[in-house]
Amino acid sequence: MTLAPERTSTATRTGVNSRLSVTSTEPRPQRPELKKSGRPNPAAHLTPEQIEEIGRELDAIRAEVMDSRGAKDAAYIRKVIKTQRYLEMGSRAALLFSGVKYRGVRPFWWIGTAGLSVSKILENMEIGHNVMHGQWDWMRDPKIHSTAWEWDNASPSSQWKHSHNEIHHTFTNVLGRDNDLGYGILRVDEDQKWTLFYLFQPIWHVANALMFEYSIAAYDLELGGYLAKKKRLSAEEKAKFRKEADEVLAKIKRQATKDYVVHPAMAAATFTGSTRHTLTANIVANLVRNVWTNTVIICGHFPPGIETFEKTSIEGETRGDWYLRQMLGSGNISGSKAMHVMTGNLSHQIEHHLFPDMPSNRYAEIAPKIRDLMERNDLKYVTGSLAKQVGGVYWKVVELSLPNKVEGRRRRDTILKAARKAIKGKGGQGRRY
């Protein structure tokens, strides 16, 4: 490629991301009292200067932790990885004898299944998710690095990193930009447009939880979008999709072969009738992992009290604005230390969304500071026990399966109208968000 000389000489600063800095070259507008949907704007009381100051304070909190990363943190992640790998090996060894019956129960099946479930959860959450976020890249250990990690999940890490790290973390809770908001199958915010599809969302939701690893894979692949837009895509886009689909299928095949063929086959060698039981153990462990990860993740952004944002509200966003959106768009889960580890510290979702590349073991120590900062600025720090947060989400899934209440119009009529339209084939099943 030949370059015009003026292009080689000096790359100018134009186009530098406004989110890199807490200050802005253009004066930032005061936020309106109400959002477009008519609901109150939770940050309307903050002046642009106050938001800048919040940005500065958060930068300082980040710097303090990042500057003090050290041997203790490195030892922590290595210990978690070691524990997880030994737990997995131990559980898999126990499963080799999962068919052995003692007083009516199969003790090795129970031990092995429980151990394998916990190990898979640790691997996906505290290890995989966080390593792929680059939280441990600073150690310069090529084996514990975001560019090298592959996790025990159907979705290939490269695709997951794109949809999760880039799209979801940059555009958190922005309607129409953040596909994680309901994953395209759930309506979790009143400002999401209702369609007939959502009427059955309690079913979609449970199915999604059970099959979570596969729905994530399909979601990262943007399978839904591909099917919907297939006719309009260029040959290049189709080829790219096909390549990525092949990657997913290859990964799923490797994963399934391991869990459902090779390990059960190994169990045959112990002649304890353990093949079938090893198979069921693997199925159960994967289901437990799926349901648990889904539970944790829906608590991150869907519980009541968490805000969503309109596309236009993020134009020219500074780092402070972005921080503000992360704080208002995420919610925590309170609980014991063990619970935090099992959630991959996503129980500190607010802290994680502010600083996605901060080592997860440090979120607990900054949580009180973040809470204090939010309360000082009259911002709601959403947190609650697992039961409370999950309950809130499940209730929302049910409630928002129906259209919003509008004065002078019965919800039943809206639903019936949509149903009639669908039957006539006028695009009733459109899943819009």
Partner 1 sequence: MTATLNRTSATRHTPRLAGLLDGARKVAHALATPLVPADYLDLIDPLRAGADLRGRIVDVTPETADSATITIQPGRGWDGHAPGQYIRIGIDIDGVRHWRAYSLTHRADAADGLISITPKAIPDGKVSNHLVRATTPGTLVMLDQATGDFTLPATLPERTLFITAGSGITPVIGMLRNSLDDLGDVVQIHCAPSERDVMFRDELLSYAVASRLTLHENHDDVAGVLDLASLDTLVPDWREREVWVCGPTGLLDAAEAHWEAAGLADRLHVERFRPSVVEPGDGGTVTFDRSTVTVDADGGTPILDAGEAAGVLMPSGCRMGICFGCVVPLREGAVRDLRTGEITSTDENSGAVPIQTCVSAAAGACAIDL
Which residues are near partner 1 by CB under 8 A?
1, 3, 7-13, 15-17, 19-20, 59, 63, 66, 69-75, 82, 85-86, 89, 132-134, 137-141, 143, 145-152, 161-162, 165-166, 169-170, 251, 254-255, 257-258, 262-263, 266, 319, 322, 356-357
Closer of 356 and 384 to partner 1 (Cβ): 356
Residue 82 CB, nearest approach to partner 1 (Å): 6
Would you say 329 or 384 has its CB closer to partner 1?
A: 329
Q: How far is the CB of 246 from partner 1 (least distance, A)?
A: 16
By C-alpha distance, which of 419, 394, 399 is closest to 195?
Answer: 419
Least Å from the CB of residue 143 to partner 1: 7
Min dist CB 122 to partner 1, Å, is 14
Cα-based angle 161, 137, 245 (whole degrees, multiple of 5): 20
Q: Which three-class secondary structure state does DSSP give residue 351?
A: helix
Helical residues (DSSP H) of 68-200, grouped into ranges: 71-95, 107-122, 130-132, 157-160, 169-170
Please check whether residue 384 is in contact with residue 174, taking contact to mean a CB–CB distance below 8 angstroms: no
Token output for 126:
């505290």
Q: How far is the CB of 60 from partner 1 (least distance, A)?
A: 11
- Minimum CB separation from partner 1 for residue 356, in Å? 5
Kind and range of the H or E run holding 245: helix 235-256
The helix/strand/coil state of 14 is coil
Q: Which lies closer to partner 1 via its Cβ, residue 130 or residue 201?
A: 130
Q: Looking up tokens 């929302």, which residue turns up?
A: 396
Q: Which residues of 216-254 are buried (b: 16+ CB within 10 A; e: fewer)?
A: bbbbbbbbeebeeeeeeeeeeeeeebeebeebbeebbee
Which of residues 97 and 149 has its CB atom nearest to partner 1 in the complex?
A: 149
CA distance 360 to 372: 20
Report d(CA 91, CA 111) in Å as an integer: 7
**CA-based torsion, 413, 419, 420, 421: positive or negative:** positive
Q: Given the complex with partner 1, which of 246 and 375 has the nearer CB atom?
A: 246
Q: Is 34 helix (H, G, I), strand (E, B) or coil?
A: strand
Indicate the residue among 30 and 68 with the shorter CB distance to partner 1. Answer: 68
Shortest gap between Cβ of 277 and partner 1 (angstroms)? 18
113 vs 201, beta carbon nearer partner 1 = 113
